[in-house]
Homo-oligomer: A and B are copies of this chain.
């Protein structure tokens, strides 16, 4: 199966096998060594000297941890949304009793730091800004994230970044860009099965946590930090996923982070060019296309759900549909994590073949 969705992504067989190793005591010396070895390397991928905590949860759990630990009930928090996952931050902020102020960017576009600056000037009470680095739902990367961080800090606010589908595939310079809280998840570029979320926390964010009264327990990052000092997690961790992640990190450092980023850039370009060669249009504006997922407009008259089922049944390729208001209007092609040129080529052939079966004449082949 050519799993071409933006996560969960294919798990290399040696990583999958590593997860089948004999179970261990999560409060014993083996796990102590494992979590320290994993954390040290996850921090290198994050490009941070600050803390990174690993939670047993999916990426949304990491987003919730970021909100529950840093956003105060009643506060007005600016949420910059460029797609569905930005809207998820709006929902979480709202669920936790804060007031989300949404700065909605047209789907397909990246956020403009000048608009964020204006929003913060207009509403000086805002102390927290939340943003998605790479929007899986639209195939857009918020390429101006370093400038956004500069604007947010100029206003004295805290910046929380969902980098679930970018970090480990696209460079994210947590410390150099001064990102206060950054969330990622195992099932994306990390080549590990879903179930682990990562949250980095710098000193500014720890200070915010100390004063925050929001209810939290399972996702309390202070508990995660004090347990990590003892080589543990506060609650039983997903041990088999730590085994997988440990092996996946071996593979990542064997390939080298720069080589990984370059491979993602190359395969993304190949995907985009392949789609255009088929006469298809991308949702993302030029210059802000994501290097981990490409969102393609569904040609008029092509039924989105038929497209997905034929691609899978006839061409063994699994794509993702559109979410929310984009349902039926786009399909999404993932090219992150454990992915090769041949996977992308096979994916493009599947797109072409599926469209042909659905009677859509592709470019140059009418």
Among A107-115, A141-149, A211-219, A284-292, the stretch that binds chain B is A211-219
A234 surroundings in chain B (CB, below 8 A): 60
23 A-B pairs with CB atoms under 8 Å apart are A1-B24, A3-B23, A7-B236, A8-B25, A9-B23, A10-B23, A11-B23, A16-B19, A16-B240, A25-B318, A28-B318, A56-B56, A59-B236, A60-B217, A60-B236, A64-B218, A91-B217, A95-B217, A187-B236, A193-B238, A194-B240, A195-B195, A214-B215
A185 surroundings in chain B (CB, below 8 A): 236
A312 surroundings in chain B (CB, below 8 A): 28
Q: How far is the CA of A31 from the CA of B25 in the complex (A)?
A: 30
Confirm or deny: A42 has a beta carbon within 8 angstroms of a beta carbon on chain B: no
Size category of the binding interface on chain A: 35 or more
Confirm or deny: A43 has a beta carbon within 8 angstroms of a beta carbon on chain B: no
Q: A17-B20, A61-B218, A218-B61 are in contact. Are A236 and B95 (CB under 8 A)?
A: no
Least Cβ distance of A290 to chain B in Å?
18
Confirm or deny: A126 has a beta carbon within 8 angstroms of a beta carbon on chain B: no
A21 surroundings in chain B (CB, below 8 A): 16
Confirm or deny: A105 has a beta carbon within 8 angstroms of a beta carbon on chain B: no
Confirm or deny: A177 has a beta carbon within 8 angstroms of a beta carbon on chain B: no
A161 surroundings in chain B (CB, below 8 A): none
Closest-by-CB residue of B relative to A185 is B236
Confirm or deny: A171 has a beta carbon within 8 angstroms of a beta carbon on chain B: no
Q: How far is the CA of A126 from the CA of B24 in the complex (A)?
A: 41
